[in-house]
Amino acid sequence: MIRGFSAVSVIVLLFFFRGFSQQQSPPNPLDGKYFRSPVDFPFRLSGNFCELRETHFHSGIDIKPSGHRDNPIYSIADGYVSRIKISAGGYGIAVYVDHPETGYTSVYAHLENLNEHFDFVVRQIQIAQESYEVDFLPSPDVLPVKKGDIIGEMGNTGYSFGTHLHFEIRDTKSENPINPFHFGLKTEDNIPPSLVSLSVHGLDPDLHKIWEQNIGLATSEGNAIHIASPIKVPAWRAGIALQMYDRTNGSHNKQGIYGLRMYVDDSLVYSYHMDKISFDQARYITGFYDNKIKKTNRATYSLCYKYPGNDLEFLAHASDGIIPVYAEQERKIKIVVEDFNQNHKTLTFSLLRADHMVEQAAKDSTSTLVKVGEPAIISENTLLLSFEKNSLFRNIRLKIKSDISSSNETKYTIHDQYEPIKKPIALSLKPEKTNITDMNKAIIVRTNANGRGKTNYGGTWKDGVLNTGMIEFGTYFIDYDTIAPTIKRVDFSANASRKTKFRFELEENLPTRGQFVNDMKIKVWIDGNFIVSPYSSKTKILEIPLTDLYSGDHSLKIEAKDHSGNTSYFNATFTTSK
């Protein structure tokens, strides 16, 4: 017995300290036991974390449906709903759950339906705002959840091309997505990555490609591929790019690579692992792969070297990967590509400088040097470009050509459409017309790469100048949008006695892009009452539910308004009976 304490006192103290110790030990979600799976079956993936998409790094994992008809989605731990966002595109129906004990947030996107309680709350907000699209940020006490509570049902809403769950785990404070595999949410995988093609680039001092050679990589039986003959590079420096993908067991989908290490003469010169990503760096992907090949051939070649302006967080500790090449000394290259389960594939080859060098193009005296990491202001006639210091990945010699557009406004072809842009460049255009009757109809458009059609980049007025953000080089000019969206019947009849919904196709005359343009706004009323009607920007289909209507005659009204205020209406009467 401890001196000065009775046996009962000792027992009480032991329980006290045990409880105190438990309270002071926060949960460890990285142990693979704290978070449960968001589904109730062994899942397979159609997409993994940080794989390379068209315009961004994938911020989560895509879980395939089971063979059952219903696929309920569960909260992975205790917490509360911190956000419910309903969008016509993007994540579609998405729920965000904060887990305050851990400092993490789980995200469940492309849902088909919400659980009944969530759905009731959100529907009241949609009706109050007269909008299908809402962004609801409830306080922690409004929608609490327990581990295993049903969030909703797996679906195909938003910009999705098949039923699946897009699932994320984010750091709550920074909102940065983290690879869910670190939390024990894994799928079976014993398949090594596949290497499709090697591309060797000869580079100029600003790391622009002046020469390239592509070499197909035949499937090997083992985990190693070796190219016997040295690759001769007609340049002073070389960079490597790889076309590659990974697969997991039970899935035919080509997925992204988790990690890569490149050695030159046994020294590590470039490496990364896809453990986390920042949404602020989502567009940096255009400087991570070969942007020109991506746009022209739809092939994804990951660069194994860094542009000077590429400060992706997962590349922070990597060297630049630029390889000086010599005429008398082979540079021995080894690249190891791996997945999260440490299945790997190794590629080895060597580089030599060629006898004859590629002649670099002479500098154009009419171009303007814009340096990476430095701000710049470029003006020409009615055009003004404002580069922030982080707008570019590498130095460029900016070239601008002008012409007259069909709207009698000056049309500017700005630089090379394949040069990647790191952050939006402020683009300002002053109209040629001095008497614009309706300034709201003016927009900045970019002609599409194939020369057919154009894209609406919108714009805001300030001091008689129209402003937008340029996220890709190309041809821009001021145009005037006077055409209202179209509303077409897909499934509508005046006798709706046997129908549960109407379907209409709604579409704008111009596709939209960028943060300075508003998407089409759609409203539906039946008998003067706003009706929550899902719209998909992917399919252009509006669905109008007909449930809970009394028998008899009804009036339907649809309103569709675009960025320029052009508005279309559809009015009709219909009859229902029970």
What is the residue whose two structure tokens read 């309903």? 86
What are 289-331's pLDDT values in tens digits? 999 999 999 999 999 999 999 999 999 787 999 999 999 999 9
111-120: average pLDDT? 95
461-476: average pLDDT? 95
- Tell me what percent of the chain is helix, strand and coil, each rounded to the nearest 5: 10, 40, 50
Q: What's the pLDDT band for 10 if we cut at 50, 70, 90?
A: very low
Instruction: Check residue 26 and give its pLDDT.
Output: 64
Domains, the chain: 32-183 (2.70.70.10), 194-353 (no CATH), 368-480 (2.60.220.30), 486-576 (2.60.40.10)
Residue 378: burial class (beta carbons within 10 Å; 0-12, 13-18, 19+): middle
What are 332-349's pLDDT values in tens digits? 999 999 999 999 999 999
What are 369-410's pLDDT values in tens digits? 999 999 999 999 999 999 999 999 999 999 999 988 766 789
Tokens for 397, please give them. 């010699």
Q: What's the pLDDT band for 53 if we cut at 50, 70, 90?
A: confident
* All residues at 6 or more sequence positions from 173 whose CB lies less than 8 Å from its CB, including other chains: 103
Given a cut of 60, whether residue 69 has pLDDT beyond it is yes
Lowest mean pLDDT among 47-56, 144-153, 411-420: 47-56
Lowest mean pLDDT among 359-363, 428-432, 461-465, 484-488: 359-363
- Strands 224-226, 344-353: pairing is parallel
154-165: average pLDDT? 93
What are 165-223's pLDDT values in tens digits? 999 999 999 999 999 999 988 899 999 999 999 999 999 999 999 999 999 997 666 78
Query: Measuring CA to CA, which residue among 91, 255, 55, 117 is closest to residue 170?
Result: 91
Given a cut of 80, whether residue 68 has pLDDT beyond it is no
524-534: average pLDDT? 97
Given a cut of 70, whether residue 9 has pLDDT beyond it is no
Instruction: Check residue 7 and give its pLDDT.
Output: 44
Lowest mean pLDDT among 123-132, 181-190, 552-561: 181-190
